[in-house]
Structure 1
């Protein structure tokens, strides 16, 4: 049956689609307008830098000549920087529009960012040269972009004013910018200039303060990770506008001489670099921390490749600047200096590219380093919880996957340790196996578009191997510690039981028998019949006491061990397990002259393992062997049954392991290749159990 979608849902989806389409169209238009204008300017300038400054060509050429700069070199550096800033901002805007639920604020932010950068380049000059009638439109676009961007800044990243007075800041920016266009306050006298500059500086300060307060007091850990670098770059950009606000419009553009020309060119480059940082920080926040709830459907290679390209553009700009600075020192000096700067900056470029790759992919490109650091970390981590949490942190933090879960089987209870997004899609599940036993599982999750390559798959498997080794060792150490604690408690409880049996049972019984004997002696002459009756009662009581003592002794050490030896004692005790001749039980001869504690432990473990095979595994045959090595007695019980699951209740596995560990030994339960179960206990001949 097809169910109609609610009208509200339909309207919401239509609104979302409309906002995204409008945003994409405007971003594409302004980006193409900016890039086209930059190209037009570069073509129409004729290689003369004076065309981008509000100075006569003669003054500009004289200033550049005094600086030792050439017009073509200056234009090249400026065009490269402007293109890089516009391309980066357009990519960041595209990421913002990829949000599953674009809002008016996020759409406006994406559009205004691109328009703001485009109008800050030489694009307007290029279009004005090609189409003189477009000069007014370019000026209006510049004003609208500036006012809109400054009004949106206090509301980043949600569009909601936090703190609440952020709305007042945004509204004041709108009013102040609009009034400044209608009534240029810088033309009204010193008082108005002072008031206007103070207002602009106050708004910049309050915008930064509002963002800091939002970051520190109104954001959780995830939100802080999303916005910290964006806020830093945004604050630096706003601070770079201070010279514009504290000087009357046109003052900076009218600066002449070598210093003035250099200041104008460098200020424009700084403007582009700082806004490029804003765009890059937004792109990284989206790819790493899902800013604006963007679930990327593009491959991270696109992001990494784009950012590496931008690093290359910055590198080219640096080399171009070197050529620019030394242009006036002669061809040989300029070429030599450019080569030196290129080689000196190359390591920086390589490190920046690596940093970009690491920022997007984490440490996936350094598998040996990841495994080596993880191995070192395992040495200082002691508990299964610490190791599991650290492994999950490595998957999410170092390898940049969106989520990870480490499941650990501790005492037949599975504990899960999660990091990152637990709702992301699962890309792989790797069992954690230690010493032939499955002890847990590593689950890796990733965003859409993020795949698990063959190399990365091997890296994750290596991480899982290290995790299994660490968790297995920690779990074994914890089990040994808990086992010894249980052994000590059991031993103390056994002593209390013996004390209770002797004090409450044997002691009063002996006292009663003694009283009867004494009474019989005193009545022997006068009442011989009563004396004989009392002696008989004393004899019966002594017989019961002897039976109790025998039971106590048998509990401490089976008499059959001394009477028959280990093999025959095990065979005798296992006879009740065979009903109707099944299962068939065989016990190999055991070595002689074993330490008493080892002999008792071997007897108990062998009998318990045989009981498990007969009662729980439907075994048809059970074989027990005893092998003496130079340092230990090996007890092996093999059956052809159905096997015993790890969590099978009542199998006595813990008690068998405790008996082995009490002597400093170990016990393993594995599945035989031919079917059935093998229980293998190694008991040191020099017992190291707690006293």
Structure 2
């Protein structure tokens, strides 16, 4: 059974392995020997033929694994000269021994030829069998020696891959020797020890391509121990049932019960496979479990940054990988696990949320020769989606905090500027007004003319203080916008700029109700563009339009001046200021100019409720 399982796995996972035909041959011979033994136990007609068949095919099924299979299991290329000689000895010894067994076999009911001379072909059996057995023993020792020498000379990684094969061969040989010394326990011992060699051979062959040395050894120990327990329990149960039932009639009952026990073990084997798969690959075969573990890590986090770390840490046991990290703009923001020196390149999975690449998830392979497979990548793709969403939340939260800090700094800077302007400009002027007023009161009766001059100077200082105060308040926000609205304030600017050579026309939607920030930005952009047209363009007409459409406030200023080349001209302070005001609100500013004039258009986003 063990060789059949190994042959099936190799045929699926490593169809090009050179040892595969030999493994399938051993599986076929062992299966045919088992069929012959079962036929003999049934006592059905022709049972003696089954006994004859199993008598010599059993030897083939035992010898081939301990010789030719050992030689091919650890070599991908052609056999060496010594190995070819061993192969010839094995084939010759099998031919001689099996011929002797086949010729010398007699049914159990035949009389023992103790007092008569055996003639004919059967007389050759006493010579052929020992001769063949000696040759097979020599070949088996040579095969094990070749494997041991190759193991000693191999590199550390290769040595660990070959070690399970040598251990499996040793276990099988130990079982054969113990069975020969204690015939009473031979069937039980051989049933328990025989799977060790096919299992170790299969893992070694796959290990050259799929697993690292440590992984091979771990799988060998886990699977060999598990299968040994199962088969040992099966053998003990069969032996116990046979002892209870007993007799020739009980043999059939024992076979039926053995089949029943084997069927009962099938669910256990399936469960064992799931346990081993989870131990080696995590939750790769059960994505729902991995997603639940990831969700639990996200829900227990206090903030998005902590959630990203929890999600990355949850990936390690979910896929049994040694290291994982999240990289944003080339910088590692979260890292979990250990990545040793010389580790292979990590697998990169993009973290995309709502069409925006937030970063990348890097996951290390389990080992240098055990890369992440398609099922691993499918699970990583599923796990990357919630990680990308959390990373986006962390980014937005960081942006919000930065914006909040920038807002606080800007507000404090504005307060400082207003305080400085009031203190340096308006404060001294008001102090001068008070001083001049006190002097005028004292000199009013004695020197009326001098007092009159002082009051005139006082009036001039007052006007200067008022102008400074207006400048400060104008910097905070134009009063005309608060008093007249956006359209009225632009009309006031147009009236100041209009003259004999320039006509400024403003067309503004009167039904607009705008947020204060949007209204101020639109006023500053339009006023700056109108002033530029009046001062630099040599225009005769400037037309200003303000309208709301598609949740956007559009401000256009068009003049018929001589224009300029926006690509060649260095951007001035006014143009830069207009562009910054639009960008701060999430809008855009476009400037087109030519020989027939210039067009400045700003598009500022609006909340849905401001359009009426």
Place the TM-score, normalised by the shorter chain, in its bin: 0.5 to 0.7
> Does structure 1 residue 550 correspond to structure 2 residue 518?
no
1:81-160 map, 5 Å: 126=94, 129=97, 132=132, 134-135=135-136, 138-148=139-149, 151-152=152-153, 155-157=155-157
> What are the superposed Cα offsets for residues 539-581 of structure 1, whole Å, 9 maximum, x if unpaired?
333322222222333444542344124665588789999xx99
Instruction: Evaluate the alpha carbon distance shift between residue 42 and residue 250 of structure 1 in structure 2; reply closer, same or farther with a 3 A threshold.
Output: closer
Match of residue 342, structure 1, among 252, 263, 283: 263
Secondary structure of the structure 2 residue equivalent to 1:157: helix
Deviation at 1:352, TM superposition (A): 1.0
Aligned residue pairs, count? 472
User: In the alignment, which residue of structure 2 is the partner of 1:517?
Assistant: 437
> What are the superposed Cα offsets for residues 140-162 of structure 1, whole Å, 9 maximum, x if unpaired?
52342353255257x52178xxx
Answer with 1 or 2: which has the greater Rg. 2
How many Å separate the matches in 1 of 2:230 and 2:64? 13
1:194-205 map, 5 Å: none
Instruction: Evaluate the alpha carbon distance shift between residue 545 and residue 350 of structure 1 in structure 2; reply closer, same or farther with a 3 A threshold.
Output: same
> Does structure 1 residue 493 correspond to structure 2 residue 413?
yes
The answer to whether the 8 Å contact 1:610/1:637 transfers is: no
How many Å separate the matches in 1 of 2:495 and 2:605? 19
How many Å separate the matches in 1 of 2:176 and 2:374? 55
> Does structure 1 residue 637 correspond to structure 2 residue 553?
yes
How many Å separate the matches in 1 of 2:478 and 2:290? 55
Instruction: Evaluate the alpha carbon distance shift between residue 140 and residue 374 of structure 1 in structure 2; reply closer, same or farther with a 3 A threshold.
Output: closer
How many Å separate the matches in 1 of 2:493 and 2:296? 50
For structure 1, the residue ranges without an aligned partner over 5 or more in a row are 1-23, 50-70, 98-106, 160-229, 292-308, 592-597, 627-634, 642-647, 658-666, 670-675, 685-691
User: In the alignment, which residue of structure 1 is the partner of 2:585?
Assistant: 656
> Does structure 1 residue 603 correspond to structure 2 residue 519?
yes
User: In the alignment, which residue of structure 2 is the partner of 1:181?
Assistant: none
User: In the alignment, which residue of structure 2 is the partner of 1:506?
Assistant: 426
The answer to whether the 8 Å contact 2:188/2:232 transfers is: no
How many Å separate the matches in 1 of 2:91 and 2:494? 96
> What are the superposed Cα offsets for residues 44-67 of structure 1, whole Å, 9 maximum, x if unpaired?
899579xxxxxxxxxxxxxxxxxx
User: In the alignment, which residue of structure 2 is the partner of 1:589?
Assistant: 511
The answer to whether the 8 Å contact 2:553/2:606 transfers is: yes
Deviation at 1:518, TM superposition (A): 3.0
Deviation at 1:590, TM superposition (A): 3.9
1:169-568 map, 5 Å: 252=178, 254-259=180-185, 262-263=188-189, 265-270=191-196, 273=199, 284-286=210-212, 321=235, 324-325=238-239, 326-327=241-242, 329=245, 330=250, 331-332=252-253, 334-336=255-257, 338-349=259-270, 352=273, 356=277, 366=286, 373-380=293-300, 431-433=352-354, 438-440=356-358, 465-524=385-444, 531-565=451-485, 568=488
**Aligned-pair RMSD on alpha carbons?**
6.9
Deviation at 1:656, TM superposition (A): 3.2
Secondary structure of the structure 2 residue equivalent to 1:496: helix
User: In the alignment, which residue of structure 1 is the partner of 2:606?
Assistant: 680
TM-score (normalizing by structure 2): 0.53
TM-score (normalizing by structure 1): 0.48
